[in-house]
Structure 1
């Protein structure tokens, strides 16, 4: 069997490495841009949902979000009905970066999908969505402290 997961991992690491180098000038540390993008795309999202979208544990998300808040990229606003719930919003400083992130995503997508037909791109997308859905149950299971049976 071909090592599909190794290929996916190498692609992900290449893209993350590029982003970390290019976004360093924006004072964004490793992976922080992922959180900021999701918050820009989903104003009022709660921290737990951001962690779920990015597929990281809550502690990792809390650290990254706290740093973004300290840097002035986002703010936490208490929910009007339940003050314990903190909604996340990008500040003007954070929103100013969103067009840059969109251009980077567009560029990286064009590079990675160069020479693929529109039909190929659609199939790849559908396969990747299916793969993600297949693994999410295991991710949830292991995240709760369980071990998979190989």
Structure 2
């Protein structure tokens, strides 16, 4: 029987599922479902982003992005505007309502950060962030390879 080389990805997965479950619960009152909050936060942080770049940023397929963005437009959190230079492309921005919710989401994300890093020193927080960022960059190459084969 093969032996697992390390458990870190299982812990990262657990962390991710807990954060998403808590966020989905908290954002239900804003009519957000199934991690749609991630799309809203990234558009708020990257005004004018297009669908392809948003998909790449979140590491999801274009169909998932299209569905989430449509829902966010329908409930009044995002605007979609045709690009002046490339008529096939659309730029996404948050509405005033979307920006107000973004403020709440950042507060919630900060709570999750404080909870996750309880009893960590500043040095440990920085080290964990650097290591997870590096892991994310490494796995991105793997994700791009799979994406290109689809």
Could you report, residue by residue, the CA deviation over 1:51-89 in whole angstroms, capped at 9, with x for unpaired residues? 111111111111111111111110111112222210001
- Map 1:82-97 to 2 at 5 A: 82-97=86-101
Please report the TM-score for the alignment, with normalisation by the length of structure 1. Answer: 0.94
| Pairwise CA RMSD | 1.1
- State the alpha-carbon separation in 2 of the partners of residues 98 and 22 from structure 1: 13
- Map 1:13-52 to 2 at 5 A: 13-52=17-56
- State the alpha-carbon separation in 2 of the partners of residues 144 and 104 from structure 1: 35
- State the alpha-carbon separation in 1 of the partners of residues 148 and 85 from structure 2: 29
1:62 matched residue in structure 2:
66
- State the alpha-carbon separation in 2 of the partners of residues 82 and 4 from structure 1: 43
Question: Helix, strand or coil for the counterpart of 1:144?
Answer: helix
Moved over 2 A (4+): none
Higher RCO (C-alpha 8 Å, min separation 6): 2
Please report the TM-score for the alignment, with normalisation by the length of structure 2. Answer: 0.94
Question: Helix, strand or coil for the counterpart of 1:29?
Answer: coil
Number of aligned residue pairs: 146
1:71 matched residue in structure 2:
75
2:135 to 107, 131, 149: 131
